[in-house]
């Protein structure tokens, strides 16, 4: 946002900020507020605009995601299992007895990459969507500036009405003094005095109402700026004024500028580009897809109570050793029976299963079982590549193609319709501005004539040639002319603001 450093400096200098839950503190409103400062604050804190501005980050990440689709994904997963002891039955005939419960863990790491037509067209679509989001943000910025400008003008117009009301109070006070003076010298009746008092009271009520209108318009401005209003809105004074200048713009130039800068038109064109890119992406659904995956994995499996299994293993080792010793002794007996002195008997003790052997076996089995949770048994590396090409998809691809083509055509027609709308809006605002400028000249003449009529009626009443009712009529005519002139002036300023909004850029 523009001039953010200036806004932060003004906020720090003029008071403590108000808190906004979950966001940065809101600034205090400067006591002397220019239109540029009001717009800059609104760009930072207006809730509706900030909601639109938040669309940029997801769209930007969408572009990154589209390009990242050419890179493989990488993931790691792990888990733990538990199985209780008992008998597992398979198909009702086969059973497996597990004497101890088990715990286990596993991991896997893998790469996956899929390439298809969408992969190659997605970057262009994501860029178009980002451009559309940025165009919407630019349009929201221009529209917000237009709204703030019109509200700023509404405050200035209400303040001008207050000044006119002050003038009317001053006039009626003078008329009351004049009526009382004439009554005291017997030149009129008490009726004129009462009429003057009523007129003064009505003028004071008008001043009070217009003063209230200023406060209401300021509250609306603070709402558009997205900041809380001061406890006393009257402490904030608008510092800008808008002079009346002769319109010097040509309609043809304004139409050309609007065609190139109107924010809503630019947003629709960007969305049309996104729709065309989406149509291209959908058409790639007819192309095949290539998938590649690779990974590593491992597991652990540990008995929570290995003693029964170790005991079985020890018994098996003892039985095997006893069999080997018996076989050895049998061979020695056969050799001894042959009475062959050259053959030495075998040492059968080497086959014996000693207590040391039992302890070593128990420790080895215990160590082999102590693997949970991270002493994994790794599995071999695996990789897989596949190609898929759907042939018949129940007409889902033609349906998506038709829908995307219709959306692209709708977006094209929406752009053309808005181009016509912009041309009409610019032309209407341009001719309205010319009429409003001419209305200022006419109302100025009426205001001068009404003032002269009021002065003449006041002098006639002062010298006794006119009645007080004639003075009140002249005053009402002057007041109406003054008010019509103020309305004409700010109607002209608002017509320029409307023209600026239609064109899409400031004109002064």
pLDDT in single tens digits along all 508 residues of the chain: 334 333 333 343 333 333 333 445 556 778 899 999 999 999 999 999 999 999 999 999 999 999 999 999 999 999 999 888 877 766 556 666 777 888 999 999 999 999 988 888 889 889 988 998 998 898 899 889 989 999 999 999 999 999 999 998 998 888 888 888 888 887 777 888 888 888 889 889 989 999 999 999 999 999 999 999 888 898 999 998 888 888 889 999 999 999 988 888 988 998 899 899 889 888 888 889 999 999 999 999 888 888 888 888 888 988 998 888 888 888 878 777 765 556 677 788 888 888 888 889 888 888 888 888 888 889 899 999 999 988 888 888 899 899 999 999 999 999 999 999 999 999 999 999 999 999 999 999 998 998 898 889 888 888 777 787 888 888 888 888 999 999 999 999 999 989 988 898 888 7
Hey, where are the domains in the chain?
Answer: 4-68+117-288+393-503, 82-115+292-388
Residues 6+ apart with CB under 8 A from 29: 14, 41, 222, 225, 227, 229, 230, 236
Nearest to 244 by CA among 156, 148, 168: 156
Question: How many other CB atoms are there within 10 angstroms of residue 485's CB atom?
Answer: 22
Distance CA 34, CA 254 (A): 27
Q: CB of 369 within 8 A of CB of 306? A: yes
Tokens of 455: 């002065």
Distance CA 152, CA 220 (A): 10
Q: How far is CA 137 from the centre of its chain?
A: 10
List the beta strands (DSSP E) in 61-118: 73-83, 86-90, 94-98, 102-115
Distance CA 354, CA 229 (A): 94
Q: CB of 440 within 8 A of CB of 488? A: yes
Distance CA 500, CA 145 (A): 10
Burial of 385 (0-12, 13-18, 19+ CB in 10 A): exposed
The whole-model pTM stands at 0.72
4-68+117-288+393-503 falls under which CATH superfamily? Outer membrane efflux proteins (OEP) (1.20.1600.10)
**Cα 407 to Cα 82, 122, 265, 348, distances in angstroms:** 54, 17, 17, 92
The residues facing 226 across adjacent strands are none
Distance CA 360, CA 368 (A): 12
Q: CB of 274 within 8 A of CB of 132? A: yes
């Amino acid at each position: 946002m523009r001039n953010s450093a200036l806004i932060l400096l003004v906020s720090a200098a003029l008071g403590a900020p108000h808190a906004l839950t979950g966001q940065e503190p809101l600034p205090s409103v400067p006591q002397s507020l220019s239109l540029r400062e009001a717009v800059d604050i609104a760009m930072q804190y207006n809730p509706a605009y900030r909601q639109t501005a938040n669309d940029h980050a997801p769209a930007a990440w969408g572009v990154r995601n589209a390009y990242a689709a050419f890179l493989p994904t990488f993931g790691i997963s792990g888990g733990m299992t538990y199985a209780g002891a008992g008998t597992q039955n398979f198909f009702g005939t086969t059973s497996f007895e597990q004497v101890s419960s088990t715990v286990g863990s596993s991991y896997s790491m893998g790469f996956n990459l899929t390439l298809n037509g969408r992969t190659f067209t997605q970057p262009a679509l994501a860029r178009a969507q980002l451009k559309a989001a940025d165009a919407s943000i630019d349009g929201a910025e221009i529209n917000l500036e237009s709204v703030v400008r019109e509200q700023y003008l509404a405050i200035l117009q209400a303040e001008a009405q207050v000044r006119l009301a002050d003038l009317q109070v001053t006039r009626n006070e003078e008329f009351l003094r004049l009526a009382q003076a004439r009554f005291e010298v017997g030149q009129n009746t008490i009726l004129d005095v009462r009429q003057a008092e009523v007129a003064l009271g009505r003028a004071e009520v008008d001043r009070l109402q217009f003063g209230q209108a200023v406060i209401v318009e300021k509250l609306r401005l603070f709402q558009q700026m997205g900041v809380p209003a001061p406890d006393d809105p009257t402490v904030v004074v608008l510092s800008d004024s808008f002079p009346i200048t002769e319109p010097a713009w040509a309609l043809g130039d304004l139409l050309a500028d609007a065609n190139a800068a109107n924010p809503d038109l630019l947003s629709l064109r960007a969305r049309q580009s996104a729709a065309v890119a989406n149509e291209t992406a959908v058409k790639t659904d007819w192309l095949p897809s290539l998938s590649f995956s690779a990974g590593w994995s491992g597991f652990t499996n540990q008995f929570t109570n290995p003693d029964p299994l170790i005991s079985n293993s020890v018994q098996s080792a003892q039985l095997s050793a006893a069999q080997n010793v018996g076989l050895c002794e049998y061979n020695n007996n056969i050799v001894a029976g042959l009475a062959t002195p050259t053959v030495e008997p075998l040492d059968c003790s080497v086959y014996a299963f000693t207590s040391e052997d039992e302890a070593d076996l128990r420790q080895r089995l215990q160590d082999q079982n102590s693997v949970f949770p991270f002493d994994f048994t790794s599995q071999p590396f695996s990789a897989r590549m596949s190609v898929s090409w759907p042939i018949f998809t129940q007409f889902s691809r033609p349906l998506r193609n038709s829908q995307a083509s219709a959306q692209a055509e709708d977006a094209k027609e929406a752009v053309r319709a808005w181009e016509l709308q912009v041309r009409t809006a610019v032309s209407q605002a341009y001719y309205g501005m010319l009429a409003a400028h001419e209305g200022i000249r006419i109302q100025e003449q009426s205001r001068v004539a009404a003032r002269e009529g009021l002065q003449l009626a006041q002098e006639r009443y002062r010298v006794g040639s006119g009645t007080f009712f004639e003075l009140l009529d002249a005053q009402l005519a002057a007041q109406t002319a003054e008010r019509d002139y103020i309305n004409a002036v700010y109607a002209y300023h608002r017509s320029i603001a409307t023209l600026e909004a239609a064109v899409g850029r400031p004109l002064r």
